[in-house]
Amino acid sequence: MATIRRIRGSVLRFKQVFCIIRPSSDTNSRQQANPMESVPELSTPPFGAAASYSADRREAAGRRPDGVVLQVDATVSGVDGLAWLAGRRDAVTATQLAELQQTAATQRWGWADLTRARLKLLRPRRAEVNELGAAYLAALVPGAAEAAQALRRAGVAISLASDVAAEALFGIATALGISPNELYAPRLRFDAIGAYVGCDLNTARMDDVLDATGSPAPAGSTRTTFVGTRRTAVFAPRLTDDFIAFSGVVAREGVTDGILTVATFPELIEVVLR
């Protein structure tokens, strides 16, 4: 149980430092799959000691990760939630969203400020979030549920992440056998008729030097691997964390950034458990 609490502490901490990096050299291929990718994204300071996942690092570490965090948008599901919401808005809102993200990049907003401002602009209704959840589930990437089961049987904790809405992840979580407590995404608030009134980001706050029990976390005590379309400050923020790029939904042709990339979930199982 102590190991599980440390894993949750490790995963919870990543929400505090989330921000989006500028697209890498595969931008053109990503833009075709996701209209939101054309919007300027929030840059991030250097990661310092944090490094990309590689076979060399895995072999040096000598053990598989304690937990895996799967990005839902364009990884577990073929749907990108922000692009899905933006596609249902008018041109004026799309322009405002682009201006918002440009301001965030210029002023180097943190994840909390950017998330609140973006959701306040998009103002998703409860019924719309439910529709997004159904869209996520309908576009579940083949092999995702089997991969979650295989990793869990091997003793690896599985969590889901998104920067849209935890309420939209319930169907995906059920399909993958993941508890609602392991969803790391904004919790939205609605009024009596289902209109958006705000979001709760405080459930993921944790002191970096403490584990989930409130005790000092030993250096290197847990390893967490993050799997998604692109690396950000929230993915692999520590030396003991790794990032694996998933190209099964958004292609990464021609990319030579040294990041280990998998295109299918069977490949992911092989990489994580080898």
- Over residues 152-186, the pLDDT tens digits come to 999 999 999 998 999 999 999 999 999 998 998 99
Q: Decide: 243 and 53 in contact? Cβ < 8 Å.
A: yes
Residues 60 and 113: their CA atoms lie apart, in Å, by: 38
Give pLDDT, residue 238: 59
**pLDDT tens per residue, range 114-134:** 889 999 999 999 999 999 999
Give pLDDT, residue 230: 72
Rg over CA atoms, the chain: 18
Tally of helices (H runs) and strands (E runs) in the chain:
10, 8
Give which of 238, 267, 170 is closest to 13, Cα–Cα: 238
> Is 196's pLDDT higher than 50?
yes
Q: Decide: 231 and 243 in contact? Cβ < 8 Å.
A: yes
Residues 168 and 204: their CA atoms lie apart, in Å, by: 17
Give pLDDT, residue 186: 92
3-state secondary structure 76-119: HECCCHHHHHHCCCCHHHHHHHHHHHHHHHHHCCCHHHHHHHHH
Q: Which residue has the tokens 């749907």?
A: 79
> Is 232's pLDDT higher than 60?
no
Q: 2-273 belongs to which CATH class?
A: alpha beta
pLDDT band at 144 (very low <50, low <70, confident <90, very high): very high
Percent of the chain exceeding pLDDT 90 equals: 50
Residues 91 and 70: their CA atoms lie apart, in Å, by: 32
Q: Where do the domains of the chain lie?
A: 2-273
The kind and range of the H/E element at 250 are none
Give which of 43, 76, 74, 47 is closest to 259, Cα–Cα: 47
Task: Name the token pair of 231.
Answer: 């690396």
Predicted model pTM? 0.72
